Structures are given as structure tokens and as C-alpha cells.
């Protein structure tokens, strides 16, 4: 359903009095993966790793620098806005901050109706009926239609954002940290709502998060991203049971253990995420990796299959597949 190949997105950094380009931010730097119809890929990494940029480039909110995005067999990468329009109906996004992404001067009814208007779906009465159905689908009362986003809690606002995103009956839903700003108890309600919708609508989902614990609840496959690149990808069970990449191992060890008496095996990552303007040579994780070897500083590891489609980019495993 979705195939991303060698996708690159750089942002220019300008400087000096003439605002000339002086460097590039390597936000997404050669990413490839695919998601089957009805499946969910969880995309995980620390903030600044490029995962939001990747989501927005796939949704054609940003132009790709190079590489390709194929959706349902069609290469959308370099489509004009006009060519893209029928696909916008089929690909929708949910954002981290539902408050920022909802127009505060519009009523909730108008917000949810907007994609129906844009895509010419139904006449006035049919659209308002649809808004009513969407409100109940996401668990909000009908009276919500006449109220405004600021009158709702964070979790309710995310429900409004979801109602708007599913209004045009999309096939691909890109969720950019949809629960990161919410309390833990509300997070699970929103995740459950998304799981129900996936089942009812057969949605294909790209679920972006910085938290592996959240992704676990919803994903069939998980991809781990570090500084613009995917460093490991496999099915959701395997990534939690046998993570291979030292970065994934550190992320997994950071998931809180429910038993307070259990010994914590938390791996503390030293240092900050390096700048994506001048990413480290060789393996981009080498400045923070406790297994770093000489080769890691000089040579970029290949993203290779270690068996059963468990992909990893790390010199520790080279020649072992
Ligand atoms: Fe660590 Fe080297 Fe593997 Fe990179 S390639 S994760 S630095 S061991
Ligand atoms: Mg982000």
C-alpha cells in the first residue's frame, strides 16, 4: 500500500547578510520501507531524528529532496498540487498537538466538515449528517458540533482531530505522535479508538512516536530511526524480544518496568543527539554507542537482513546473516 524508497529530505540552512544557503539539515537521509494494506508500521526515535519530517514528506506536506513515495501503486513523489488532490482525500494525517492543528475560530462541526467541503463530498445536509456520525464514531456528543476547540480537553481535541482525519474515508492514516501530549490514561483511550477505526475502516497506518511502549500497543512492524536513517526494522514482537541495534536496545531498556522490585537494566545513552547538519561519519550512532569499534567511525554499516526480514544497520552483525 505504501512503499518509500531512498527518501531524502534536506532543509537548507541560510546564513550571512545575503541569506545564502550555508548547509543542509539532513532530516531524512535515505529511508526505505513498505507498509502492507491494513497494517500498521510504528516509527520510533528521539525528537529531532526526522520522523515527523518523514511523515510530512510522505503526506506530501513537504516536497521530497530525492527518492520516492508510492501509494497504492502510484508514485506521488513529484506530483503537482493538482495531481495530488485526489490522493489527499485518501491520505490523512493526525498531529501531536490537536489544539495547534485545529482552527480555533471554527466550530468543531465546521472543522470536521471542512475536508468534506474541500473534496466535494455530499451536499450541505448530507455533510452535517456525516459530521454527526463522525462525532459518535470518535465518542463525542452531538452537541460538540456547535462548540469550539478550546472548550475541550486534550484527549477530546485529539478525538476531534481524528474525526476530521477520517471524514474523507482515507485509506492511509499518518499519525504524528498523536498521544505524546496526553496523560497516560487518555493515551490508551485514544489508542483504543485508533485500533477500532483501523479494524472498521481497514486503515493502513504509519504511527510515529518517541515512545516504544506506546508503539507496541498498535504496531504490526516497528522501524527505529536515528538521525535521519532507519537503523532497525522487524515485526513488533521481535523488536521487543530480541532488539539487535544498540540504539534500539537502549530505547527498549528505557521502557518502565511494571514491577517496582525488578532490577532495572536500563542502558543510559551518553551525550546528546548529534546535529543533523553535520551527522557523524560512518555509523551515525558511533558517538553514543557503548559497542563502538574502529570501523564504526569510518564506514557506514549496511542495512541488512539478519533473517526473517529482521533488518539492522550495525557492524556488530555484519557477516553473520
Ligand atoms: Fe555501535 Fe558500531 Fe553498531 Fe554503530 S555500527 S551501532 S557504532 S556497534
Ligand atoms: Mg516530531
C-alpha separations of 208 from 68, 112, 169, 214, 217 in Å: 19, 23, 20, 10, 13
Please list the alpha-helical segments (H only) found in the chain.
Answer: 51-58, 81-90, 98-101, 108-118, 124-137, 154-166, 184-201, 212-216, 236-241, 246-253, 294-298
8 Å CB contact between 218 and 42: yes
**Separation of 274 CA from ligand 1 center, angstroms?**
15
Q: Which atom of ligand 1 is nearest to the CA of 296?
A: 2
* Model confidence band, residue 116 (pLDDT cutoffs 50, 70, 90): very high
pLDDT, tens digit, 9 for 90 and up, residues 171-184 = 999 999 999 889 98
Please compute the mean of the pLDDT values over residues 141-158 and round it to a whole number: 95
- CATH number attached to the domain at 2-317: 3.40.50.300
Does residue 189 carry a pLDDT above 80?
Answer: yes
* Residue where the block lists cell 534500539: 248
pLDDT for 22 equals 85
Pairing of strands 204-209, 229-235: unpaired
pLDDT for 66 equals 96
Report CA 41 to chain centroid distance, whole Å: 9
264: three-class secondary structure by DSSP: coil
HSE toward the beta carbon, residue 55, CA cutoff 13 A: 28
pLDDT for 292 equals 95
Q: Is the CB of 283 under 6 A from ligand 1?
A: yes
> Of 19-28, 212-221, 253-262, 282-291, where does mean pLDDT reach its minimum?
253-262
pLDDT for 18 equals 80
Protein residue with least CA distance to atom 3, ligand 1: 314
Does residue 261 carry a pLDDT above 70?
Answer: no
Rounded percentage of the chain residues whose pLDDT exceeds 90: 79
Does residue 302 carry a pLDDT above 90?
Answer: yes
C-alpha separations of 96 from 77, 157, 264 in Å: 24, 11, 30
Does residue 260 carry a pLDDT above 90?
Answer: no
pLDDT, tens digit, 9 for 90 and up, residues 16-58 = 888 888 889 999 999 999 999 999 999 999 888 999 999 999 9
Looking at every residue in the chain, the average pLDDT score rounds to: 92
Q: Is the CB of 293 under 6 A from ligand 1?
A: yes
Does residue 321 carry a pLDDT above 60?
Answer: no
Please compute the mean of the pLDDT values over residues 264-276 and round it to a whole number: 80
Domains in the chain: boundaries = 2-317
Please compute the mean of the pLDDT values over residues 73-97 and round it to a whole number: 92
Task: List the strands of the sheet with 172-176, edge to edge.
Answer: 91-94, 172-176, 204-209, 40-44, 221-226, 229-235, 311-313, 303-305
ipTM summary value: 0.95
Ligand whose nearest atom lies closest to the CA of 27? 2
Q: Which atom of ligand 1 is nearest to the CA of 289?
A: 1
**Separation of 300 CA from ligand 1 center, angstroms?**
9
**Separation of 294 CA from ligand 1 center, angstroms?**
10
Q: Is the CB of 291 under 6 A from ligand 1?
A: yes
Q: Is the CB of 2 under 6 A from ligand 1?
A: no
Does residue 268 carry a pLDDT above 80?
Answer: no
Does residue 231 carry a pLDDT above 90?
Answer: yes
* Residue where the block lists cell 551518553: 270
| Number of Cβ atoms within 10 Å of the Cβ of 84 | 13
8 Å CB contact between 112 and 132: no
Please compute the mean of the pLDDT values over residues 51-80 and round it to a whole number: 95
Rounded percentage of the chain residues whose pLDDT exceeds 70: 96
Which tops the pLDDT comparison, 143 or 319? 143
Does residue 125 carry a pLDDT above 60?
Answer: yes
Does residue 273 carry a pLDDT above 90?
Answer: no
pLDDT for 217 equals 86
Does residue 131 carry a pLDDT above 90?
Answer: yes
Q: Which atom of ligand 1 is nearest to the CA of 293?
A: 2
State how far the Cα of 302 lies from the Cα of 318, in Å rounded to an integer: 8
pLDDT for 262 equals 60
**Separation of 29 CA from ligand 2 center, angstroms?**
16
Ligand whose nearest atom lies closest to the CA of 316? 1
Amino acid at each position: 500500500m505504501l512503499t518509500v524508497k531512498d527518501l531524502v529530505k534536506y532543509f537548507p540552512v541560510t546564513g550571512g547578510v545575503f541569506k545564502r544557503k550555508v548547509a543542509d539539515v539532513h532530516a531524512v537521509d535515505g529511508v526505505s520501507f513498505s507498509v502492507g494494506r491494513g497494517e500498521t508500521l510504528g516509527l520510533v526515535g528521539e525528537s529531532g531524528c526526522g520522523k515527523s519530517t518523514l511523515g510530512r514528506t510522505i503526506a506530501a506536506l513537504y516536497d521530497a529532496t530525492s527518492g520516492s513515495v508510492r501509494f497504492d501503486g502510484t508514485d506521488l513523489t513529484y506530483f503537482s498540487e493538482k495531481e495530488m488532490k485526489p490522493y489527499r482525500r485518501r491520505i490523512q494525517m493526525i498531529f501531536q498537538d490537536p489544539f495547534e492543528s485545529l482552527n480555533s475560530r471554527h466550530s468543531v462541526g465546521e472543522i470536521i466538515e471542512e475536508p468534506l467541503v474541500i473534496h466535494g463530498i455530499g451536499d450541505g445536509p448530507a455533510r452535517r449528517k456525516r459530521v454527526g456520525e463522525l462525532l459518535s464514531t470518535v465518542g463525542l456528543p452531538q452537541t460538540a458540533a456547535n462548540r469550539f476547540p478550546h472548550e475541550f480537553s486534550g484527549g477530546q481535541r485529539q478525538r476531534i482531530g481524528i474525526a476530521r482525519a477520517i471524514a474523507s474515508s482515507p485509506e492511509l492514516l499518518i499519525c504524528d505522535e498523536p498521544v505524546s501530549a496526553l496523560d497516560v490514561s487518555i493515551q490508551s483511550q485514544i489508542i483504543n479508538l485508533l485500533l477500532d477505526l483501523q479494524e472498521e475502516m481497514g486503515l493502513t497506518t504509519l504511527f510515529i512516536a518517541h515512545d516504544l511502549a506506546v508503539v507496541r500497543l498498535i504496531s504490526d512492524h516497528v522501524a527505529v530511526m536515528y538521525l535521519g536513517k532507519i537503523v532497525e526494522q522487524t515485526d513488533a514482537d521481535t523488536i521487543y524480544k530480541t532488539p539487535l541495534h544498540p540504539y534500539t536496545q537502549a530505547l527498549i531498556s528505557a521502557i518502565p518496568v511494571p514491577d517496582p522490585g525488578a532490577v532495572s537494566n536500563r542502558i543510559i545513552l551518553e551525550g546528546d543527539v548529534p546535529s543533523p547538519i553535520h551527522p557523524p561519519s560512518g555509523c551515525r550512532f558511533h558517538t553514543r554507542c557503548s559497542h563502538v569499534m574502529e570501523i564504526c567511525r569510518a564506514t557506514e554499516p549496511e542495512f541488512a537482513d539478519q533473517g526473517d526480514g529482521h533488518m539492522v544497520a550495525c557492524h556488530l552483525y555484519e557477516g553473520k546473516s
